[in-house]
Structure 1
Amino acid sequence: MVEINNLVRSNVLTLQPYSSARSKFTGKDGTFLDANENPFGTLNRYPDPQQSELKKKLAQLKGVNTQNIFVGNGSDEVIDLAFRIFCNPGKDKALTFSPTYGMYNVSAAINNIELIEQPLNSAFQIDLPTLRPYFNDPSIKLMFICSPNNPTGNLIDRAAIDYILTNFKGIVIVDEAYIDFATDESLISMIDQYNNLIVSQTFSKAWGLAAARLGTAYADKEIINLYNKVKPPYNVSELNQKAANEALDKIKKYEENLAVILSERKRVEKALSNIKEVQKVYPSDANYILIEVQNADQLYTDLVNQNIITRNRNNQVKNCIRISIGTPEENNILINAIKNIK
């Protein structure tokens, strides 16, 4: 077990959190004269600051207690608050594995935290021998592992993650934004085993709610209490909570859409692998694929000129483009466009 309080910034430990007007009243009916709200309208009341209904549904779906769930304004809030809770600006460090999701770097820079980027090996997996020396650096408070990884699309080896959780005495954040598209199970089941593990997920991908900006974190209740302590009082709007609750009530629709995406991913992978200009199609456990071509910059530009927007990842993985899986019609447009580009 890791002593969590030894990792927390001293000012966060002594922080007196803001007590919102609704934090002590959980009922829905009443004469509300406490929050200086406008008494007229349909969106005139502040939302539930603890997202209670949403957490109950997530707890049932994920098999955890509501005390182990944090709901944030997108996964980016989960990332940003981790820096605010555990890292002293200009002093502490964090570590991640490149290539990976760019917001780890951006959030570290905003919080004035040095981010060490440890390269993944040729199979886009963590190289444990080169990582081990960092376990002895007490200034490294956070470690970010994106699995399935963005932009490469692959799951990170579970044994490597287990080794890191056992030997690293800081906080390990496993970003599972794309786990719904993978064959492996989530690491949420491991939060009882490792009190230094935070599993981050999102409603943006498989649930189709990118516009709603809803991210979740699953962890030991000591860590969740810290998140709730430092978050803004009303960090998730009523509209967004409602959108997530409605989505969770339509599991069949979620499963149908997920099945289409997985089927289309397989079809697009096969189609692109048969195009001469595509030199490699990397295997994917996400809702996108990474392809290697002769000239990624040129292909990206050619596709843009046809109003097909992909993600040029040449700066991360040489001559590679990341392609999201769209509808069958969108995927046909993409495949035909790449076939016909000279």
Structure 2
Amino acid sequence: MTNKPAQDTLLPGNIEALTAYSSAKSEKVSGNIWLNANESPYVKDVNIILSDLNRYPDPQPAPVIDAYADYAGVNSEQVIMTRGADEGIDLLVRTYCEPATDNIALFLPTYGMYKVTADTHNVAVNDLSQDLLLSGTVEDIIKAVSGSKLVFICNPNNPTGSITPVEKIAQVTKALAGKAIVVVDEAYIEFSESNSCALLLKDFDNLVILRTLSKAFALAGLRTGFMLGDKSILAPIRKVIAPYPVSTVVAQIAEKALNSDAITQMRRQVTILNKAKLTLLSWLEQSPAVNDILSGDGNFVTLQLKDKSCLSFAAQMGLVMRPFNLYGQDNWLRISIGNEQDLKCVKDWLDVISAQV
């Protein structure tokens, strides 16, 4: 008789069946021009004080919380600081969903961590479509999400860049009062500020907004996010969150990133990146090697190549972008908006593959 390894007998079935999220950095590729993870091309210089690392940090550092509340236009009691927006996703599922009973609603294609988090916690997924979210009536959406505990809306959506109007989100949130929590992931909102749902927080206690410093704030390596919501909806989450989720070093850097001068600089950089994106779009529209373009908001462009073998030329040039499977096809590509030199390399690549079509 052969004994099974411990992992086979102790591992829950949902974890054994889990397909892990494949992040851009987990894919071991080589290159020197990185346009695959929607990172900012801007580098921040920071000065930090390391004299008090023998002490535990403030779990929710007041200077950072207050600064972000001021930036987002909410009260400090409506803010929780997290380890990236990803921890916010995990906290919401862990706090509000009962394993093997509840489900969350997603509008696909969208950010993959919503599903991975649900699968990790043995929470079912109600797979819906972006087309329903964008083109369906509020009544259609409410009917489709009926019974879901959390309704995730990535806005702008990753990887399509599509925008769901604030008024439509407000109507959905109102209709789901007492039935579900609407979670609006605004990781890319700085690139489309007029579409933020932050002002809706004063009207709805079943709305949560996720934010990050990873994109426009150029601090992806800091792993800093924020959860915005009514204090009543955040109170249970404060019971679930780890006792010391924010390191002293992270808090120091985040506080400096949220001062008025740094925010002004961030917005200036966003303006530059948005203009660069328009230039990239014009190149893509002129390329015979490109079949389709999803030109929504965010610091990226997602496109469909006529022939995915074109990516081999990008690899030879040291150009790293993000291939995708979308709509049942494997010839999609997402390009992050880099600096002028980065995008010049994209233009060179486009010229090469366009000449071969």
Same fold (TM over 0.5): yes
Which of the numbers 295, 315, 336 marks the counterpart of 1:304? 315
Which of the numbers 125, 129, 138 marks the counterpart of 2:134? 125
Distance in 2 (alpha carbons) for counterparts of 1:93 and 1:52 = 34
Match of 1:91 in 2: 101
SS in 1 for 2:149: strand
Aligned-residue CA RMSD (Å)? 1.9
Distance in 1 (alpha carbons) for counterparts of 2:146 and 2:341 = 52
Deviation at 1:337, TM superposition (A): 0.8
Match of 2:152 in 1: 144
Match of 1:182 in 2: 192
Distance in 1 (alpha carbons) for counterparts of 2:235 and 2:313 = 49
> Relative to structure 2, which stretch is displaced further, 66-75 or 184-193?
184-193
Deviation at 1:294, TM superposition (A): 0.8
Deviation at 1:226, TM superposition (A): 1.8
1:329 aligns with 2:341: yes
TM-score under structure 2 length normalisation? 0.79
Deviation at 1:42, TM superposition (A): 4.2
Distance in 2 (alpha carbons) for counterparts of 1:113 and 1:300 = 37
Q: Which amino acid aligns with 1:53?
A: P
Q: Percent identity?
A: 30
Q: Deviations over 1:111-170 (max 9, x none)?
A: 111111101229x72534543323542xx2101000000000121133331221021220
Structure number with higher helix proportion: 2
> Relative to structure 2, which stretch is displaced further, 165-174 or 324-333?
165-174
Match of 1:266 in 2: 278
Distance 1:109 1:275, change over 3 A: same
Distance in 1 (alpha carbons) for counterparts of 2:319 and 2:290 = 17
Q: Deviations over 1:169-213 (max 9, x none)?
A: 201100000010015241111111110000111000000010000
Q: Which amino acid aligns with 1:272?
A: L
Match of 2:66 in 1: 56
Q: Deviations over 1:42-74 (max 9, x none)?
A: 422111112211011112222211000011001
> How many residues end up aligned between the 2 structures?
299
Match of 1:276 in 2: 288
Deviation at 1:313, TM superposition (A): 1.7
Unaligned runs of 5+ in 2: 1-49
Q: Deviations over 1:233-289 (max 9, x none)?
A: 110111111111111122232122112111111111112211111123222210001
Alignment of 1:1-342 (within 5 A): 42-121=52-131, 125=134, 127-128=136-137, 130-137=140-147, 140-168=148-176, 169-249=179-259, 250-295=262-307, 297-316=308-327, 318=329, 319-341=331-353, 342=356
Distance in 2 (alpha carbons) for counterparts of 1:256 and 1:189 = 23
Tell me, yes or no, if the aligned pair for 2:163 and 2:297 is still in contact at 8 Å.
yes
* Runs of 4+ that moved beyond 4 A: none
TM-score under structure 1 length normalisation? 0.83
